[in-house]
Amino acid sequence: SQQGEEDPQALSIQEGENATMNCSYKTSINNLQWYRQNSGRGLVHLILIRSNEREKHSGRLRVTLDTSKKSSSLLITASRAADTASYFCATGAIQGAQKLVFGQGTRLTINP
């Protein structure tokens, strides 16, 4: 079963606009990661934020984590057509090995 939910399930915006995706989870976590997947291919790691961090930046990506609300958001600024993909959040448990629990994903479409 999925750890949580992502919102929205699908998002369509114009190139140059910002895209925000949200992720909620159910159990306590060690870290939360965001991945991108293009058309049924492998996943590409975007960013990892640990449970003691509140915000993290990487290039045009900004991730926030609110452990009290068990939620995270991914902001992509100045979107490009190449950002069109599915985005997944995944949580790592406090104890255990490299087991990620994924959300259902957000399908992002950037219109030129």
On the CB side of 47, CA atoms within 13 Å amount to 19
Residues that bind other proteins (CB under 8 A): 2, 30-31, 33, 35, 40-45, 48, 50, 88, 90, 92, 96-105
Q: How near is the Cβ of 54 to other proteins at its closest, in Å?
A: 18
Instruction: In whole angstroms, give the CA distance from residue 7 to residue 51.
Output: 21
Type of residue found at 22:
N
C-beta of 11 vs 13, nearer to other proteins: 11
Q: Which is nearer to other proteins, 15 or 62 (CB)?
A: 62
Q: Quick one: 9 or 12, whose CB is closer to other proteins? A: 9
C-alpha 75/C-alpha 97 separation (Å) is 28
Return the DSSP state at 96. S
CB of 11 to other proteins, least distance (A): 17
